[in-house]
Amino acid sequence: MTDQTSNKITRRDAIKILAAATGAVVLANIPDKWTKPILEGGVLPAHAQTSPPPPPPPFSIVDCGVPDTMCASANSLVTITPATSGISMRYVLTPSNPAGTIVFPTQLNGTLLTDASGVADLYIEIQFMTFNINDTFTVDWSFDDPDDGIDTCQQVITYDGAC
Amino acid sequence: MLSNVIPSLVDGFRMENLDGEFVLLHPARDAVFYMNRTGALVWQLCDGSRTVDEILNLLSAAYPDSAEQIRADVPALVHSLIDQGILKSG
């Protein structure tokens, strides 16, 4: 292949200058043929941009009680901080003995609102004759709305038959 | 007219060669541009050391069969790069 000369610079010299000017990124990629340059793009869409982490949820769970015992009834209390009324707390009540009768709550999965002290109170009542000693009732607490908080808490209440 | 303009690179952009495709990134601006090989070549030549006319002469010498197209393509690209804030005109 022979170089074509222009008035001022040969093709070979031009290629050398391009190679020297473009450095490592393009050096091995000097195109063999000229094609129309393409430029596409712009500012990244919002969902692709780096953004600061979201602020933490405003509430957290302080506690929901230590392991406890009961016979006919018990209360499972969950406390949030800062103490605020009207925050919806979700409970899931799971008896170890599904054959037993739970009088209250009527739904094993539901929500309760916190009071001004930041406490939600789940009253549990059972037909104790339908349960066996050491059957357990597990209460899992969480925020109904993750925007309120993401903490969870679990309390286990054991039927002790001491009625 | 761009002939005597000396385009130079705007700080913060960096070129990545991804298997023969060229991506121009400016992380602080959340900007990303795709360029083909000739686009990347022109961008690299706009380093503040030569005028647009000199770039045209260089590319026309390197690709004599496309000299006419280069005379149309390169000023348009440089103009676009300046408009997008990728190059600054000295």
Average pLDDT, integer, range B72-78: 95
Does B1 fall in a domain? no
User: Measured between alpha carbons, how far is B6 from A91 in angstroms, rounded to an integer?
Assistant: 69
Is pLDDT of A100 > 60? yes
Structural domain for B69, as ranges: 8-84
Nearest chain A residue (CA) to B17: A25
pLDDT digits (tens, 9 = 90+) for A32-84: 899 999 998 866 555 555 556 667 789 999 889 888 999 999 999 999 999 99
The C-alpha of B16 sits at a distance from chain A's nearest C-alpha, in angstroms, of 7
The C-alpha of B31 sits at a distance from chain A's nearest C-alpha, in angstroms, of 4
Write down the domain spans for chain A: 60-159
| Closest-CA residue to B40 (of B3, B15, B6, B65) | B15
B58 contact partners, CB below 8 Å, separation of at least 6: A9, A14, A17, A18, B45, B50
Does B2 fall in a domain? no
Number of structural domains in chain B: 1
Quick one: A60-159 is in which CATH superfamily? Immunoglobulins (2.60.40.10)
Is pLDDT of B7 > 90? yes
Does B51 fall in a domain? yes
A72 contact partners, CB below 8 Å, separation of at least 6: A125, A126, A128, A163
Specify the CATH number for the domain of residue B37.
Answer: 1.10.10
Band of pLDDT at residue A2, cut at 50, 70 and 90: very low
Nearest chain B residue (CA) to A17: B58
What's the token pair of residue B75?
């000023």
Does B13 fall in a domain? yes
pLDDT digits (tens, 9 = 90+) for A146-158: 999 999 999 999 9
Nearest chain A residue (CA) to B67: A34
Supply the ipTM of this predicted assembly: 0.92
Interchain pair B57, A8: CB under 8 A: yes
Interchain pair B40, A30: CB under 8 A: no
The C-alpha of A57 sits at a distance from chain B's nearest C-alpha, in angstroms, of 27
pLDDT digits (tens, 9 = 90+) for B16-62: 888 777 899 888 888 889 999 899 999 999 999 999 999 999 999 99
Band of pLDDT at residue A20, cut at 50, 70 and 90: confident
Q: Are A25 and B40 in contact (CB under 8 A)?
A: yes
